[in-house]
Amino acid sequence: MPPVTPGSESSAALIAAIAAGDRDAFSRFYDLTAPMAFGLIRRVLRDPEAAADVLQEVFWQVWQDASRYDPTRGSPEAWLVTRAKTRAIDRLRSMRRRDRTFAAPVDESVAPRREEPAQNPAVVAEDKSLVQTALAQLPEAQRRVIELAFFEGLTQSEIATRLGEPLGTVKTRARLGLDRLRGVLGGERLSAT
């Protein structure tokens, strides 16, 4: 697996070439970043076929929208990660809606929402040890906020409602959690490569 260096010259140059219609650049960018994007999508979506579909959609968007990439907002990888995550969560929601329509919606109002804990992707994802290790080093409260936001796509006020915490607390925890994660992942990457 080639190491991903966010914001490296090469990925920024590749995006610029893709924007100019360079297919080889697209092919190289795909090889460089698709495993990362697919790992993330699979974390949100367990269904491998749906995940493959989303991966294709995301990279099709990369091809079409490369000219809109704005380097001041972050690295090409960060741009890709945001798109992959957003698309995967959109798909997850539409699958849940469909499942609810075809299951027993009449019972939903009385039955406890039993699927919630099981669908916490951070819990069910198998063998994502490095992510687990990184997240595990966060205090539980910070970890939950990051998981709910990043892997389940909840907004901050939705997270506040879900956890029964004030909005200000959720905001602070998201920032502290990311700060901490940055430190943890920095160390991990050094030791892993």
Partner 1 sequence: MNRDEIGELAAAYALGGLEGEDLARFEALLEAGDQDAVRALRECGDTLVGLAAAAPEPPPPGVKAALMERIAAAPAARPSAPSEAVRPLPRRRPRALWPVVLSGAMAAGLAAVVVGWSVSSTYEKRLDALARDAEQLRAELRGQQAVIAILRDPATQVVALAGLPPAPAARARMMWHAKAGGVFVATGLPAPPEGKAYQLWAIAGGNAPVSAGVFTVDASGTGSLAVRPLPGVSTVNAFAVTLEPAGGLAAPSGDMYLLGRS
- Binding positions for partner 1, 31-60, rule CB under 8 A: 31, 34-40, 42-43, 48, 52-53, 55-57, 59-60
160 to 179, contacts with partner 1 by CB under 8 A? 171-172, 174-175, 177-179
Measured in degrees and rounded to the nearest 5, phi and psi for residue 128 equal -105, 55
Residues in CB range of 14: below 8 A, 6 or more apart: 25, 26, 28, 29, 32, 76
Least distance from partner 1 to the Cβ atom of residue 68, Å: 7
131 to 150, contacts with partner 1 by CB under 8 A? 131, 134-135, 146, 149-150
Q: Name the CA radius of gyration of the chain, rounded.
A: 18
Measured in degrees and rounded to the nearest 5, phi and psi for residue 15 equal -60, -40
Residue of 102, 113, 164, 190 that binds partner 1 (CB under 8 A): 102
At 53, the amino acid letter reads D
Least distance from partner 1 to the Cβ atom of residue 148, Å: 8
Residue with tokens 């939950």: 144
Q: Does the protein bind partner 1 through residue 7 (CB under 8 A)?
A: yes
